[in-house]
A and B are shown apart, each in its own frame.
Chain A
């Protein structure tokens, strides 16, 4: 018994010593950034892009952002709100991070929002942009660097008007983001939505939906099928021959995360977005080539938005000299968005959601055999979301 308690004390001492060593390695002066993204299950590819995009910005500056040494702590939320909550709490309470960057999906963002905001830590979303925090529940410590969820669908409606579609079928998964996309599309589309089809999340076989579409006399399909669902839908749509008579338009369905699976089947398919890897701004050309060289795959919007997030934090740290004590100064520096976005023009609206341009994107095959989206045409410029007027900031 005695020997055991001695052992325990010795173990404790070792742990404490280790802890001190670790803490002093990451000096108190370091800026700590906690990241909560989905890194397991089928959507893991999206979270990985966000980690890679952020890490690239760090590596390009020798592990620093805005002249300050940064320690990055990455956590996997497993796409479960309760896990996300736990991870975010431990980041703000145990690790005492200065910024939390997250998440990929809106439901996990809603779970971590309160504890992060209440601890007076800055929360920056590199992807999820739910309407819930864009209107009257906007918050001074919350920023979104991607888009507001409805915007891409709204722009898709505008594209449909411009292309002269009269009858459109909408197919989306039956959950909140699917329904948001339907609402966004209908808000701007002037033609007739002949049918709305809701599939289960993670749907496998679209043959039944495709049969319905084929009998609907629509000229175009609008869909939102992220990840594996998008791969299956695109492959099956092409195999059914519908691509010859019906235009395939979508958001988050034919992007750099799904194209390696879809390949030739998706070439020529249209989508709406605020960024494409072929955009010719100087910052973007440098980003895309550096990213491909480092990670060996074509970055998608997730990586681009995350890279922008890192550079936004860098610009704010540089302005304030890395002083995390003065929250107001830091907030003002973030609001200024004084960084070189890979998307070109970028600023924050009063609700801290972006004001940016949106484009018509088309899938193309590159000369080296890889697939990517290309920006064909700018549809709207300096486009703010529809909820910002309800925000009292």
Chain B
């Protein structure tokens, strides 16, 4: 593999990684802080994508659509928390899995009824429509650079919020000793609601910025949810720093590793073998990475020690 190709693949991996981080950040907060398994996190990502599509149609402006979608995603998260999740905090994980799985099925079908089964697309806004010439033939859309930037900004904001602010302190405290925090007169229920709302909004935001790159279709969040779980297991459950590291590792491993692995196999084996084995092995790469991390550090690379 030439150096140019390697660098381009690193860029692709970085971009995939930041997108994964946006999804995994919300998941790791809800899972780590509240001990709640939210399988519906992936479908909230899908909802974000459909929302930006719908608001774009209504307002005609991408920026307005993004703002409205985030507000709507937050509202949906709060509604779900109020009507469904709140009643499940005290229950075991199986009840949580069943209920949130039901939400996946419900929202996927609802999207199909409202928007049809076909694949929808949305254009990036005019002022981000340009592209950068990477090689003689290959261009890299500016919009993809913007998604990397957005991911990095969210990462910094989240990190500062959790480690440097009063709310962040309460979140960390509420996660380790909810009873004590409650006894000190803090409304833990309300705290959890805030965490949940922010988690839902982050998933929605990921869907919003992914919509112009990937197409919008029912069920688009189902596969990405699995990868998001891989990310937070690698990074350490409940840890924002861990989610960031895990997301970049998975993004780079999947993109660069896939190319390197297949090229490597082509050197060792005849094409007929490498063509069969390579793609199958490449799909397993991130799971192998996860298994390796679990063997060496079962708690994840940067676990939350009461701190995120």
Contact = CB atoms under 8 A, between A and B. Distances in A.
Given A231-B121, A261-B120, A211 B138 contact: yes
Interface stretch (B190-198, B275-283, B299-307): B275-283
B139 A231 contact: no
A301 interface: no
Given A42-B219, A202-B223, A228 B119 contact: yes
A235 B138 contact: no
Contacts of B258: 208
Contacts, number: 100
B145 to A, nearest CB: 12
B63 to A, nearest CB: 20
B117 A42 contact: yes
B218 A42 contact: yes
A279 to B, nearest CB: 23
Contacts of A236: 213
A242 B119 contact: no
A149 interface: no
A236 to B, nearest CB: 7
Contact of B217 (A198, A228, A241): A228
A231 B215 contact: yes
Contacts of B137: 214, 241-242, 244-246
A148 interface: no
B72 interface: no
A297 to B, nearest CB: 9
A208 B283 contact: no
Contacts of B283: 174, 200
Contacts of B50: none
Contact of A42 (B9, B131, B217): B217
Contacts of B15: 207
Interface in A179-229: 196, 198-200, 202, 204-205, 207-208, 210-212, 214-215, 227-228
Nearest to A207: B12
A258 interface: yes
B8 interface: yes
B138 A242 contact: yes
B217 A205 contact: no
A80 to B, nearest CB: 14
Given A227-B119, A241-B131, A210 B9 contact: no
A340 interface: no
A245 B136 CA distance: 10
Interface string A13-55: 0000000000000000000000000001111110010000000
Which size bracket describes the interface of B in this complex? 35 or more
A240 interface: yes
B16 interface: yes
A170 to B, nearest CB: 11
A240 B140 contact: yes
Given A200-B283, A204-B214, A205-B12, A261 B121 contact: yes
A343 interface: no
A241 B138 contact: yes
Contact of A228 (B5, B12, B215, B255): B215
A214 B135 contact: yes
A210 B139 CA distance: 10
Contacts of A210: 138
Given A210-B138, A241-B139, A257 B223 contact: no
Given A42-B217, A215-B4, A232-B215, A208 B120 contact: no
Interface in A223-263: 227-228, 231-232, 235-236, 239-242, 244-246, 257-258, 260-263
Contacts of B35: none
A205 B141 CA distance: 13
A207 B116 CA distance: 27
B9 A262 contact: no
Given A200-B283, A207-B15, A208-B259, A239 B139 contact: yes
A215 B214 contact: no
Given A228-B217, A231-B215, A261-B215, A211 B119 contact: no
A49 B270 CA distance: 43
Interface in B1-55: 2, 4-5, 8-9, 12, 15-16
A198 B275 contact: yes
Contacts of B278: 198
A198 B258 CA distance: 11
Given A199-B279, A212-B5, A215-B5, A44 B112 contact: yes
B16 A42 contact: no
Contact of B118 (A211, A240, A261): A261
Contact of B121 (A40, A211, A212, A263): A263
Residue among B16, B121, B144, B220 with the highest chain A CB neighbour number at 10 A:
B121
Contacts of A44: 112, 117
Nearest to B129: A239
A241 B2 CA distance: 20
Contacts of B214: 204-205, 232
A43 B2 CA distance: 38
A213 to B, nearest CB: 9
Contacts of B12: 205, 207-208, 211
A263 B120 CA distance: 10
Nearest to A200: B283
Contacts of A48: 117
Contacts of A43: 117
Residue among B116, B141, B217, B255 with the highest chain A CB neighbour number at 10 A:
B217
Given A212-B259, A261-B215, A45 B118 contact: yes
Given A208-B9, A261-B121, A41 B218 contact: yes
Nearest to A174: B279
Interface of A: 40-45, 48, 174, 196, 198-200, 202, 204-205, 207-208, 210-212, 214-215, 227-228, 231-232, 235-236, 239-242, 244-246, 257-258, 260-263
17 contacts: A41-B117, A44-B117, A45-B118, A174-B283, A202-B223, A204-B224, A205-B12, A205-B16, A207-B255, A228-B217, A232-B215, A239-B131, A240-B140, A241-B133, A244-B137, A245-B137, A261-B120
